[in-house]
A and B are shown apart, each in its own frame.
Chain A
Amino acid sequence: MKIDLKSPVSTAVAIGVGIIVLAGYFIPSFTNIRFILLRTGLVLSAVALLVGIINLITVHIKKLGADSENSGYSLILVIALLATLVIGIIDMVQTYLVGKPNFQMTSWIFKNIQLPIESSLLAVTAVSLTYAAASILRKRMDLFSIIFFFVVLLVLLGSFSIPPTTIPFLRVFREWILRVPALGGARGLLLGIALGTITTGIRILMGTDRPYGE
């Protein structure tokens, strides 16, 4: 007879650790053990990052062999990942063994490749958001979408600060929108999210939701 102990053990660990961490928020004597468990969790998250990267590289190496139109992107990803890894190791050796300034080459990669790419993507996001707001009425022509569209329009018009384009009435309207309905709506949504978060957490503590295998 094969007895699978994985499931009850993982469930017991998840529930036990969850209850101690939760208790640490309310009962001062549990605070220290809560911090120890959270720090352990953070270290395990870092290990999970390594596992995730191994998974990422394995998936993309498999895609290289496949007859896929995206295999070129996979090749770029594998080359970039390996190059960054090698440069990181060289930097580490130079910093800790040779005594050169801290991680010069890695910093160069982040400043001159990662940062510009992420910044340009952020700029494109602004365009994408504008497109999404403009196309909402094409997607869903209902009362709430119409209200959403016109409120966005009026708040934008009320945001102008250069004198010829400022409209005093719209500025007052914008401030009222931001202070009253937007703030009230945001608080309502946050209350709903908080209630949902609590029930999700309780279901995991009770063991009825087990997102860690069966």
Chain B
Amino acid sequence: MSATGFTGIVVIVLFVGLMVFFSFIDKDRKTYNIRPIPAYEKIIQEINVAVEDGTQLHISLGRGGITGPESAAALAGLGILKQVIEKSSVCDHPPVASTGNPVISILAQDTIKGSSKAISISDNIKNPSGELIGVTPFSYAAGTLSTIRNDNVSANIHTGWFGNEITWITTAGERQSSPTIAGTAQLPAQAVIYASASDPLIGEELYAGGAYLGAGKMHQASISAQDVIRWIIIFIILASVLLNILGIDVFIENILAGTM
């Protein structure tokens, strides 16, 4: 096994251990003191607005599939979709979902079906969709515009894998004067989201949806685990800088390479 492979296994085992540990020690805890993320507070607020006004939320899950680096963003989006459906179960019009990837479209429909069954929504007409809008970036963006412009849609939540084409989607939401909550894992698109969405999700905030929307202990435990690993990374970075300043890094590298 290579050194990279060994490091990878150590990281995964460390994460699993920390997540299990935090979920175990926090199992009786009722409230969690996690930093507020305005975008998730806005989602909860908009669910309440949709319940009171009889409007519906639009959730777009982006173009990410499940076999590439974009899969985690797409799966995080599906997690948020599930929570929003469960929380908006008393809405007159349940949320409408749209995707730009056929696999995620099937998973979205499955999530919708499962969540609707769990909250006893049996009426097919009331059930939210999970339709495939378009398979290229611009066909997806252009196709999503008609849903955003629907007068009955009170807020738009875009969580998943998007490129720069998200500027079309977020700008359309702003023109409709409807709140736009957006997050993606692609860096250039994050800059676009920061400039064009009313409530952006930056960096890892996209993956924290479950913890903020009440998906369960394991989601909160994963936030704590991330914090521990983050502190370890900060320590490693600072230690590397210090070693570099003192000139010890070359000495250690030589020892590791066996050239001393």
Binding site for B on A (CB under 8 A): 22, 25-28, 38, 41-42, 44-45, 48-53, 55-56, 59, 70, 73, 117-118, 121-122, 124-125, 128-129, 131-133, 135-136, 139-140, 148, 186, 188-193, 195-204, 206, 208-209, 211-214
Contacts and interface: CB of A to CB of B under 8 A. Distances in A.
Nearest to B226: A195
A124 B164 CA distance: 11
B252 to A, nearest CB: 22
B253 interface: no
Contact of B106 (A48, A122, A133, A186): A48
B35 to A, nearest CB: 13
A203 B222 contact: yes
B241 interface: no
B115 interface: yes
B72 A201 contact: yes
Contacts of B102: 45, 48-53
Nearest to A25: B8
Interface residues of B, number: 76
Contact of A208 (B67, B164, B216): B216
Interface stretch (B25-33, B51-59, B188-196, B243-251): B188-196
A86 B17 CA distance: 55
7 contacts: A26-B1, A27-B5, A52-B101, A52-B105, A193-B207, A195-B229, A201-B72
B190 A59 contact: no
A155 to B, nearest CB: 11
B218 A49 contact: no
Contact of A45 (B6, B103, B171): B103
Nearest to A23: B9
B75 A204 contact: yes
A202 B12 CA distance: 8
Given A133-B195, A188-B203, A211 B82 contact: yes
A188 B233 CA distance: 11
Contact of B15 (A25, A45, A59, A198): A198
Given A201-B72, A212-B107, 13 more contacts: A44-B103, A56-B133, A125-B168, A129-B164, A129-B167, A132-B192, A188-B203, A191-B230, A192-B204, A196-B208, A196-B226, A203-B222, A209-B215
Nearest to B196: A132
A107 B208 CA distance: 44
Interface stretch (B42-50, B87-95, B134-142): B134-142
Contacts of B128: none
Contacts of A200: 72, 75-76, 79, 207
A206 B72 contact: no
Contact of B19 (A118, A140, A202): A202
B218 to A, nearest CB: 4
B62 interface: no
B181 interface: no
Given A59-B131, A139-B198, A213 B226 contact: no
Contacts of A125: 164-165, 167-168
Interface in B101-145: 101-103, 105-107, 109-111, 113-115, 117-118, 129, 131-133, 135-136, 138, 141-142
Interface in B136-156: 136, 138, 141-142, 146
Contacts of A56: 131-133
Contacts of B203: 188-189, 192-193, 196
Contact of B195 (A132, A192, A206, A208): A132
A22 B11 CA distance: 12
Nearest to A186: B187
B157 interface: no
Nearest to B118: A214
A48 B106 CA distance: 7
A27 B2 CA distance: 8
Contact of B207 (A199, A206, A208): A199
B72 A196 contact: yes
Contacts of B135: 49, 52
Contacts of A133: 195
